[in-house]
Amino acid sequence: MPATLEAIFVLLVFLAPGFIAVRVKNSLLPYRIPSAFQEAVEAAVASATLLPVWWIFGWRLLDARRHLLEVASKHTPLEVLGVGLPLLGVVALVYFVFSPLVGIGYALIQAHQPYMRLAHKVLPNTMGATPPEVWDRLFRGDERPWVIVWFKNDGGGIGGTALFAGVSPSGRQLFLAPTDEENSLVRFKADRSIAHDLSSRARGVWIDVNAEVLCIEVFD
């Protein structure tokens, strides 16, 4: 039982707050789905930034730990008002205030990359400028071009207005939507003739730009 209580305290202090912060960060930024290892590392780093907060209220945690160990080993009554409620208050403060704030700060750092500007300022002659990727140049603005996505497997394609596009750091994704015009969302055969007019049959088509995509044609 004491080992279980120790594991619960480790989960409460060192793991859960970081996962909350990472979830908040992911909800504010477009992101590529991370691996389990990457998400665990991000959560651990975010949790480490909250250690000063835990240290301020450390006496509360140690008091609760001591009391719960006594309850488990000696079967003494549980002091809900004197120990339980203050512990829940500290956990709620970290989980619902400080963890989301860390997530917001993490998102701002990733979005604006202040360390890149600092590196260019400190080492102007050794740090080359990193231009935006071609994909980001095409789809980051307010324009909604008409595109045709051609596939390798059957040689066919799908054309439509690129209403939404995933840009860095997210994965390459497109949501092609129809307009009020006829043949504004269509499926093409390999010979570029129209196989199906999807304009009135679908709200749109979501495409993950992966290895199955041969090329993407972009039109004004």
In sequence order, the β-bridge partners of residue 164 are 175
Q: pLDDT band for position 37 (50/70/90)? A: confident
φ/ψ bin of 155: left (φ > 0), alpha (ψ from -120 to 50), beta (otherwise): left
Which token pair is 109? 């750092």
Instruction: Report, as an integer, the average pLDDT of 37-65.
Output: 82
Q: How many CB atoms lie within 10 A of CB 116?
A: 12
Angle, in degrees to the nearest 10, between helices 36-49 and 99-112? 110
Could you give the 3-state DSSP secondary structure of residue 186?
Answer: strand
Residue 114 — φ and ψ, nearest 5°? Answer: -65, -25
**HSE-CB of 32 using CA atoms within 13 angstroms:** 11
pTM assigned to the model: 0.55
Question: Tokens 């080993």, residue?
Answer: 73
Question: Tokens 């199955």, residue?
Answer: 212
Could you give the 3-state DSSP secondary structure of residue 33?
Answer: coil
Lowest mean pLDDT among 65-69, 146-150, 170-174, 197-201: 65-69
What are the boundaries of each domain within the chain? 2-119, 134-219
pLDDT digits over 54-84, tens only? 888 777 777 776 766 666 666 666 665 566 6
Is pLDDT of 1 > 50?
no
Q: In CATH, what class is 134-219?
A: mainly beta
Can you spell out the DSSP letters for 145-175? Answer: -EEEEEETTTS-EEEEEEEEE--TTS--EEE
Could you give the 3-state DSSP secondary structure of residue 216?
Answer: strand
